[in-house]
Every structure is written in structure tokens, then in C-alpha cells.
């Protein structure tokens, strides 16, 4: 019998991340990873199967013919992987008030996900494109969805409330939080490697081009930096993070009254690239001599430190701080600057451990543990899909 293969799809506005897993004995074992970068007509597909790396191009318009993109991608993957496709799992950013756990996708659930597009207008449609493309290509294929907002469903109504009229909160205008798949993985990893930490009060910083922080008490989300949308919280590569609503009113009155124009500005022209004028990539900013680049990094770290203080207040203390995401896992300079901002909480950084990207980068005398843990959203997608289908 050929091996059962599960594919995971993590769709973004300019790329699609893929996971390739074998399904055996109700366990998902990673076989490979891939990514499609959407260009103009010619899309780069880079993927690895075991130790073998491959690169090719897909010729299809991802805006008008996503089914062709998926079909060509799967042809490439299954030319290198022996087995039969038995299921697909999708990351969906927003579950709204409806979805607090992974679900099996059918016509009714897909329709409910589509109704949530106004809550995540840039992210939700991308996941739906992959879902619909696979449904067209493989109508009988089992598909599941896991939601970034679901991890934060354990937060209290008080924490999720925005100070607006109550009927608006009841209609769904509230703080949701995102990056839930990443936090799910890190919470599970902490239970595995450091149960004494996992049972305490922990702040996790998912730092990448999108970035947020989450406060966990005994492994459950109690507060997070992102709110109603993925624009909130700390500054990101191209998003501003927390912004005074008065700024938005001012922009609307001074030439940016169109909602689509304002949305594009907030998602693409702000954050680190807006402050620096150089790049939204922290690697480029750290390598730059421009004072504006240095200021962007300083602002990033300042806001992370400040948000940690707010989350510590919700928790009533903090036992550990975890760095994850592309920036958190790989950039000692950013971690060192954040640790300086956490010194008042008793954080002491071991510079040698930090430079080596060790799992624990705090000194033995540090009052709070500082950890670096790689995240794996694709593994969470696969595990949740298998558990659901089983």
C-alpha cells in the first residue's frame, strides 16, 4: 500500500508555504517543506524533500487561475514523493466568533469562513483560494482548517473587550489575537522540554515580518498584543502596530478617505519600512549605517519591551520570555536589545548563549528565563488535521 500523504497550506498575500507529511499510526511525520513566491506570471517554487532541495517555476496567474498554480505545484511535489494524497490542511487567519477549534471543511463551513472576510480582508481570501482550488482539483479530498484566532479563545471577555458600545462587542468587534498556530506549537514544546516553565506565567514573542506577543498562564492564552486585526500591537515589517485612532481620522480628512487606500497604506507602507525608509527586514536594518534604520530597530525593541510590561500586568508577573519566529530565532542583536528592555523585570542575558542561538539565553541568576525556540506552524496544521480526521 502506498504511503498516505498530507499537504499543509499556509497562504499569504505574496507567498504560499507548503508542508509535506506522511500519515502513519495517527502521527504526522514531516517529509519536506516548500514555498511559492508569487511574481508577475512566473512563480518560483522552492521545496525540499529530506536533504534534497529543488527549485522550479510555475507559469500561471495566481490571481485568475489558482487551480493551475496548485495543480503544477502538486505535480512537482509528487514527482519527488511516492505516495497518495489523502488530506490537506489549511491555515485560516480568522475564525471570528464561530471557530474555536480545527474543522473539517465542507460547503457550510467554507461559507461561514467566507463570511469572515471583512474581518481579515487581506489574509482570509488567500486561504480560501487554496481551499477552492483543491476542491476543484480533488472534489473528494478531505480538507481541514485551523484558525490563528482559536488559540486565544481562552481569553476573558474583559481582556477581549474594546471600549466601544456593548452591542458592537456582541456583534464581533473585539480583540481576537493572531499567530495562534505558532503559539500552539511553542506551548506544546514548553510542556515537552520544560514543564515547570509551561505551568507558569510566560510571554512568547513571535517576531517575524508579522509580529505579536502572547501572555500564557499554564499554557493558556490570557492576553495578546494583536487585537481586532493583524495591524495592532508592536510595529512590524510594513504594519504600524498600535496607532492612535485620531491619526486615522486625520489621514481620512487629509487625502486618504478611500478605505482601500488607507488599508493598503497601513498594511504595506508603515512599520519598520515606514520609519526607516530603508527596509522592513530587520537584517537589512541592522546592516545599514542609516540613522533611520537604527531608529526603526530601537522603536521595534522599545515597543516589545513596553508590551511585555502590559502583558506582565495581565499575568500578575512573568516567569519566562520566549523568542520565536524568523527574527526571534535568528537575530541575537534584536534579542539582546529586547533583553535590555526587560532588565527591570529581572532579565539577565548570557551574551555567549545568545550569540550561539542556544535554547536558553539567560544567566543562571536571571529572575526570568529567556528562551529561543523555533516554531513550526505546518506541524500544528498537520497534527490538528490528523487528530480531527481520526
Q: Report whether 382 contacts 142 (CB < 8 A).
A: no
- Provide the grid cell at 131: 481551499
Task: Name the active-site residue from 25, 61, 98, 148.
Answer: 148
Q: Report whether 178 contacts 93 (CB < 8 A).
A: yes
**How far apart are the two ends of the chain, measured CA to CA in Å?**
19
- Eight-state DSSP code of residue 237: S
> Is there a catalytic annotation at residue 40?
no
CA distance 308 to 306: 5
User: What Å distances lie between residue 212 and 177, 183, 225, 249, 384, CA to CA?
Assistant: 9, 10, 6, 25, 22
Torsion from C-alpha of 64, 67, 73, 77, nearest 10 degrees: 170
Q: Could you tell me how far CA 43 lies from the centroid of its own chain?
A: 23
CA distance 189 to 127: 26
Phi, psi for residue 44 in degrees, rounded to 5 = -80, 125
Active-site amino acid positions:
148
Amino acid at each position: 500500500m502506498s504511503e498516505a500523504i498530507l499537504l499543509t497550506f499556509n497562504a499569504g498575500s505574496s507567498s504560499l508555504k507548503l508542508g509535506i507529511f506522511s500519515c502513519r499510526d495517527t502521527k504526522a511525520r514531516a517529509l519536506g517543506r516548500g514555498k511559492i513566491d508569487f511574481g508577475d506570471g512566473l512563480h518560483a517554487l522552492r521545496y525540499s524533500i529530506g536533504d534534497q532541495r529543488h527549485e522550479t517555476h510555475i507559469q500561471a496567474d495566481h490571481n485568475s487561475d489558482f487551480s493551475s498554480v496548485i495543480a503544477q505545484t502538486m505535480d512537482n511535489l509528487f514527482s519527488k514523493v511516492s505516495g497518495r494524497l489523502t488530506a490537506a490542511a489549511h491555515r485560516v487567519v480568522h475564525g471570528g466568533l464561530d471557530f474555536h477549534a480545527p474543522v473539517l471543511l465542507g460547503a457550510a463551513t467554507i461559507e461561514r469562513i467566507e463570511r469572515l472576510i471583512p474581518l481579515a480582508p487581506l489574509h482570509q481570501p488567500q486561504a480560501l483560494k487554496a481551499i477552492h482550488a483543491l476542491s476543484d482539483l480533488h472534489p473528494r479530498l478531505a480538507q481541514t482548517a485551523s484558525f490563528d484566532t482559536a488559540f486565544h479563545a481562552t481569553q476573558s471577555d474583559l481582556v477581549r473587550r474594546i471600549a466601544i458600545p456593548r452591542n458592537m462587542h456582541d456583534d464581533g468587534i473585539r480583540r481576537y489575537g493572531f499567530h495562534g498556530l505558532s503559539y500552539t506549537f511553542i506551548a506544546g514544546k514548553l510542556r515537552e522540554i520544560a514543564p515547570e516553565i509551561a505551568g507558569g506565567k510566560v510571554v512568547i514573542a513571535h517576531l517575524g515580518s508579522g509580529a505579536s506577543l502572547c501572555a500564557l498562564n499554564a499554557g493558556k492564552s490570557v492576553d495578546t498584543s494583536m487585537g481586532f486585526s493583524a495591524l495592532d500591537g508592536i510595529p512590524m515589517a510594513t504594519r504600524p502596530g498600535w496607532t492612535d485612532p485620531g491619526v486615522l481620522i486625520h489621514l481620512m480628512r487629509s487625502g486618504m478617505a478611500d478605505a482601500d487606500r488607507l488599508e493598503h497604506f497601513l498594511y504595506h507602507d508603515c512599520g519598520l519600512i515606514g520609519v526607516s525608509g530603508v527596509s522592513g527586514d530587520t537584517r537589512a536594518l541592522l546592516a545599514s549605517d542609516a540613522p533611520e534604520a537604527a531608529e526603526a530597530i530601537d522603536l521595534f525593541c522599545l515597543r516589545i519591551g513596553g508590551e511585555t510590561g502590559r502583558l506582565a500586568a495581565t499575568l500578575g508577573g512573568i516567569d519566562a520570555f520566549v523568542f520565536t519566529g524568523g527574527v526571534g530565532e535568528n537575530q541575537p542583536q534584536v534579542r539582546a536589545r529586547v533583553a535590555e528592555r526587560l532588565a527591570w523585570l529581572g532579565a539577565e542575558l548570557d551574551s555567549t548563549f545568545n550569540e550561539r542561538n542556544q535554547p536558553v539565553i539567560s544567566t543562571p541568576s536571571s529572575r526570568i528565563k529567556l528562551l529561543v525556540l523555533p516554531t513550526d506552524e505546518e506541524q500544528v496544521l498537520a497534527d490538528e488535521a490528523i487528530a480531527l480526521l481520526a
